Amino acid sequence: MKYTVSMEIALPRERVAQLLADPAHMPKWLRGLVSHEPLSGGHGQVGTKSRVVFQTGKQRMECTETVTRREPADLHGIPEGQVVHFDREIVGEGMWSAARDRLTEAGPETTLWESENEYRFSGVMMRLVGLLMPGAFRKQSLQHMQDFKAFAEQGEDVREAKD
């Protein structure tokens, strides 16, 4: 299953890239994140493997994330017009996914965030989930983007949200 979601954020591209890359901010916008800890390498660097744990209600999901691309490596002084890339692969029980995020300048103070996502499932249960609920994955990706936008633009923290 593949899909692409996108959103404009009312901040300069360099600032959006810095906020996305900073692990200290992840719990503020990545709903359900319990932990994101590097197993090898430095957070966000190409080749880094991290253990990631999410909790949604009583359901807990643990997976391994590998950073496969980060361009440019230095997020300060990004040349005008350069696209910022954050790519990663995520492997969990019965699931493999790849996320390819691109940040482009949509205007002087506006960033377009495009996220291309691909999922592959193994095992009967996960294949059924992928077959019966494909919209849930797209919806979750959009929720993460909306939460990031609210955090980046207004300082909102999902841990304080009243659902």
CATH number at residue 117: 3.30.530.20
Q: What is the pLDDT of residue 70?
A: 95
Q: Do the domain assignments include residue 81? A: yes
Q: What is the pLDDT of residue 99?
A: 96
DSSP-assigned letter for residue 45? S
Q: Do the domain assignments include residue 50? A: no
Q: Do the domain assignments include residue 56? A: no
Q: What is the pLDDT of residue 137?
A: 82
Q: Do the domain assignments include residue 141? A: yes
Structure confidence by residue, pLDDT tens digits, 17-42: 999 999 899 999 999 999 999 999 98
**In this predicted model, which residue has the larger pLDDT, 152 or 77?**
152
Please report the DSSP string for 55-114 in residue order: EETTEEEEEEEEEEEEESS--SSPPTTPPEEEEEEEEETTEEEEEEEEEEEEETTEEEEE
Buried b (16+ CB within 10 A) or exposed e, 78-110: beeeeebebbbbbeeeebebbbbbbbebeeeee
Over residues 61-83, the mean pLDDT reads 92
The four Cα atoms 137, 89, 102, 6 give a dihedral, to 10 degrees, of 0
Percentage of the residues of the chain whose pLDDT score is greater than 90: 66
By C-alpha distance, which of 88, 42, 49, 96 is closest to 69? 88
Q: What is the pLDDT of residue 138?
A: 87
Its domain, for residue 84, covers 2-33+66-156
Q: What is the pLDDT of residue 57?
A: 84
Percentage of the residues of the chain whose pLDDT score is greater than 70: 92
- Grade residue 1 by pLDDT with cuts at 50, 70 and 90: confident
Q: Do the domain assignments include residue 59? A: no
Whether the predicted pLDDT of 163 surpasses 60? no
Buried b (16+ CB within 10 A) or exposed e, 33-47: beebebeeeeebeee
Phi, psi for residue 155 in degrees, rounded to 5: 75, 15
**Based on the structure, what is the number of domains in the chain?**
1
Q: Do the domain assignments include residue 115? A: yes
Q: Do the domain assignments include residue 161? A: no
Q: Do the domain assignments include residue 42? A: no
If DSSP codes are grouped into helix, strand and coil, which group holds residue 133?
Answer: coil
Q: What is the pLDDT of residue 126?
A: 67
By C-alpha distance, which of 86, 134, 95 is closest to 114? 86
pTM recorded for the entire structure: 0.88
E strands in 108-140: 110-121
Interatomic CA distance for residues 155 and 150, integer angstroms: 6
Mean pLDDT of the chain: 90
Q: What is the pLDDT of residue 109?
A: 93
Q: What is the pLDDT of residue 10?
A: 98
